[in-house]
């Protein structure tokens, strides 16, 4: 055998090398025990070093969040079915907080609050995770709201405008059209490049399916993310869902994108938090909500805004449900004080078939007016005055008193303006068409028409604007004032469109 060839090591050499190597470092693993299980919560003992908000893993595979830290006892919120957890089973620390997948791979997907797919399209193709809790950007990293977010709804864009980076509350009783306004706002972002995130909290499965169907019909799913924590899911998932949605939004905003987040709705979110808190024996306060419920929503919505770093923005449209028009309830008043205004949907208007049922007397936008174009701003001012005067006169006219000609004219004008604000679902309107219809109504072109005639006239005006814009879109885009000549030009075009419609319909129409 040549001398330069080394002999293969023998078994004795391998054993000796193993004995001479340093021993492996000991690994310490804390193991706790489940002492009590409730509906959505568990009490764990034996994890003395666990941290607040840490993610725990149960032997059954269910995960939970450390909510309460007490001597010898942990209150844990379960993120899975509590039926799968049994007293006495092992619990291990993970050393990390709850995180969700983020990034462009989520576009077009339907996921749960943990980022697990619900749409049968396979796993989400991203390795980037972000914690659901994050500090809100400080004032130095924010800038003023200065760009509009068009909803496509005349009543909102004209009188209650929303700006990119704003937090605008959508509030009203059940079945008043709150979700419809949110979905129409998403559909109107088709050509704007705004990323839309719809977070369903405690909603029925068929309601979420309708929203998904509307976004698919409107060709907006590829620009949207659906995060769903249904009413059949654990209350812990409903609690973390809006925070997960905000983390996904922050990942897009960090890339310089504008993001719209719909939280539908925070009433169910507050109920889930109240349920978990009472089960964990936290002291109840007003309406049995714990004392930190304001902070729960404040730290969530403060993460929205118009940012300077990356120039992205997060616009939040939280939804809250009232009972019997009680705006002074605990959760609605909390959210009204946190947000930058509210769009109030009135059951009274619903009963009169006024959709969207936006009550302009109660609705307000505190910062959106700065982002509204000047042309819309000029129309909006007279719009509110006309409607408020009309409602007062309408109440007075019901007594059957004789009215003079001036009062009758103002009633006719107010009725025409109210009819002009009506708009069917899933039909968001471009800004130039909105302005033309509103100017036509304010100038009296719809006075004296019944509802059918007014709808036909507005359809004709919209068609006329699509055929010949006459510079309205440029006027809005360049934030120019609506001059008397421009207003007269719009009125002339609207009158021509109505005249052509009447000729086409014939004298018997």
Three-state SS sequence of 31-59 = EEEEEEECCCEEEEECCCCCCCCEEEEEC
Give residue 310's pLDDT.
Answer: 74
| Residue 210 in domain | yes
Cβ(376)–Cβ(157) below 8 Å: yes
Q: Supply the DSSP symbol for 372.
A: S
CA-CA distance, 199 to 162, in Å (whole number)?
19
Q: How many structural domains are present in the chain?
A: 3
Is 177 flagged in the annotation as binding? Answer: yes
CA-CA distance, 342 to 321, in Å (whole number)?
12
**How many helices (DSSP H) and strands (DSSP E) are in the chain?**
15, 17
Give residue 1's pLDDT.
Answer: 45
Is 40 flagged in the annotation as binding? Answer: no
**Count of beta carbons in the 10 Å neighbourhood of residue 475:** 22
To the nearest 10 degrees (0 to 180), the angle between helices 178-187 and 205-217 is 30
Identify the domain containing residue 79 by its residue range.
31-96
- The two structure tokens encoding residue 489: 């030009």
| Residue 15 in domain | no
- Secondary structure (3-state) at 285: coil
CA-CA distance, 385 to 202, in Å (whole number)?
39
In the block, residue with structure tokens 């403060």: 302
Same domain, 244 and 366: yes
| Residue 163 in domain | yes
Give residue 398's pLDDT.
Answer: 74
Q: For each of the chain's 509 residues, which pLDDT tens digit applies?
A: 455 555 677 888 888 887 788 877 777 778 999 999 999 999 999 999 999 999 999 999 999 999 999 998 999 999 999 999 999 999 999 999 999 999 999 999 999 999 999 998 999 999 899 999 999 999 999 999 999 999 999 999 999 999 999 999 999 999 999 999 999 999 999 999 999 999 999 999 999 999 999 999 999 999 999 999 998 999 999 999 999 999 999 999 999 999 999 999 999 999 999 999 999 999 999 999 999 999 999 999 999 999 997 779 999 999 999 999 999 999 999 999 999 999 999 999 999 999 999 999 999 999 999 999 999 998 888 898 899 889 888 887 777 667 788 888 889 999 999 999 999 999 999 999 999 999 999 999 999 999 999 999 999 999 999 998 888 999 998 999 999 999 999 999 999 999 999 888 765 54
Q: Which residues form the catalytic set? A: 366
Cβ(423)–Cβ(429) below 8 Å: yes
Is 231 flagged in the annotation as binding? Answer: no
Closest to 455 (Cα-Cα) out of 428, 422, 433: 422
Give residue 391's pLDDT.
Answer: 86
Beta strand ranges found along 62-184 (DSSP E): 63-70, 73-78, 90-97, 99-101, 110-111, 129-131, 169-172
| Residue 155 in domain | yes
Is 471 flagged in the annotation as binding? Answer: no
Same domain, 259 and 286: yes
| Residue 7 in domain | no
The domain spanning residue 411 has which CATH number? 1.20.150.20
Characterize the bridge pairing of strands 258-264 and 195-201.
Answer: parallel
The domain spanning residue 107 has which CATH number? 3.40.50.300
Same domain, 259 and 389: no
Same domain, 211 and 317: yes
Same domain, 267 and 176: yes
Is 216 flagged in the annotation as binding? Answer: no
CA angle 137/138/143 to nearest 5° reads: 85
CA-CA distance, 363 to 341, in Å (whole number)?
7
Closest to 132 (Cα-Cα) out of 100, 175, 169, 85: 100
Same domain, 220 and 323: yes
CA dihedral 292, 293, 295, 299 (to 10 degrees): 140
Give the gyration radius of the chain's Cα atoms. 29
Which segments of 196-284 does DSSP mark as H helices, in order?
A: 205-217, 235-253, 266-279
Give residue 408's pLDDT.
Answer: 87
The domain spanning residue 51 has which CATH number? 2.40.30.20
Same domain, 341 and 318: yes
Could you give phi then psi for residue 262, rounded to 5 degrees? -105, 125
Same domain, 272 and 190: yes
Is 95 flagged in the annotation as binding? Answer: no
Characterize the bridge pairing of strands 99-101 and 129-131.
Answer: antiparallel
Could you give phi then psi for residue 171, rounded to 5 degrees? -135, 145
Give residue 6's pLDDT.
Answer: 56
Cβ(308)–Cβ(319) below 8 Å: no
| Residue 24 in domain | no
Q: Which of 338, 371, 404 is the last residue of a domain?
A: 371
Same domain, 397 and 359: no
Q: Which of 334, 356, 371 is the last residue of a domain?
A: 371
Closest to 70 (Cα-Cα) out of 280, 248, 228: 280
Same domain, 190 and 325: yes
Give residue 41's pLDDT.
Answer: 97
| Residue 23 in domain | no
Same domain, 434 and 466: yes
Same domain, 419 and 332: no
| Residue 48 in domain | yes
Q: Which of 96, 115, 143 is the last residue of a domain?
A: 96
């Amino acid at each position: 055998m040549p001398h330069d060839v080394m002999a293969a090591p023998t078994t004795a050499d391998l054993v000796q090398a193993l004995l001479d190597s340093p021993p492996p470092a000991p690994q310490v693993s804390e193991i706790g025990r489940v002492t009590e299980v409730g509906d959505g919560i568990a009490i764990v003992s034996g994890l003395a070093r666990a941290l607040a908000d840490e993610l725990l893993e149960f032997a059954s595979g269910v995960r939970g969040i450390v909510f309460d830290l007490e001597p010898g006892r942990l209150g844990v919120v379960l993120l899975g079915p509590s039926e799968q957890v049994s007293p006495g089973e092992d619990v291990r620390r993970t050393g990390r907080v709850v995180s969700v997948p983020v990034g462009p791979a989520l576009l077009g997907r339907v996921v749960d609050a943990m980022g697990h797919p619900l749409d049968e399209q396979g796993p989400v193709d991203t390795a980037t995770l972000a914690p659901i809790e994050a500090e809100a950007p400080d004032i130095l990293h924010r800038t003023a709201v200065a760009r509009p977010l068009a909803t496509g709804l005349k009543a909102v864009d004209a009188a209650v405008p929303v700006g990119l980076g704003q937090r605008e509350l959508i509030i009203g009783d059940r079945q008043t059209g709150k979700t419809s306004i949110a979905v129409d706002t998403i559909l109107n972002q088709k050509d704007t490049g705004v990323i839309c995130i719809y977070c369903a909290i405690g909603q029925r499965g068929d309601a979420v399916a309708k929203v998904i169907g509307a976004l698919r019909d409107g060709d907006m799913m590829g620009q949207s993310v659906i995060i769903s924590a249904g009413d059949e899911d654990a209350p812990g998932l409903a609690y973390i869902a809006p925070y997960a949605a905000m983390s996904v939004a922050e990942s897009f905003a960090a890339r310089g994108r504008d993001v719209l987040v719909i939280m539908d709705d925070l009433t169910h979110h507050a109920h889930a938090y109240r349920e978990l808190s009472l089960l964990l024996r936290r002291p109840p306060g007003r309406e049995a909500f714990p004392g930190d419920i304001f902070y729960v929503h404040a730290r969530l919505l403060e993460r929205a805004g118009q940012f300077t770093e990356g120039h992205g923005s997060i616009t939040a449209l939280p939804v809250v449900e009232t009972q019997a028009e009680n705006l002074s309830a605990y959760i609605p008043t909390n959210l009204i004080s946190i947000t930058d205004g509210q769009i109030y949907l009135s059951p009274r208007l619903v009963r009169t078939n006024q959709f969207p049922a936006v009550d302009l007397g109660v609705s307000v936008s505190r910062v959106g007016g700065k982002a509204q174009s000047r042309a819309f701003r000029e129309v909006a001012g007279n719009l509110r005055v006309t409607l408020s005067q009309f409602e007062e006169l309408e109440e007075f006219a019901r007594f059957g008193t004789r009215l003079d000609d001036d009062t009758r004219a103002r009633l006719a004008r107010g009725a025409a303006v109210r009819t002009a604000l009506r708009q069917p679902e899933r039909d968001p309107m471009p800004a130039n068409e909105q302005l033309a219809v509103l100017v036509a109504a304010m100038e009296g072109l719809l006075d004296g028409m019944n509802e059918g005639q007014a709808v036909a006239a507005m359809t004709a005006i919209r068609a006329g604007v699509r055929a010949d814009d006459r510079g309205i879109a440029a006027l809005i885009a360049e934030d120019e004032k609506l001059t008397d000549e421009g207003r007269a030009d719009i009125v002339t075009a609207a009158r021509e469109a109505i005249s052509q419609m009447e000729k086409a319909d014939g004298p018997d129409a």
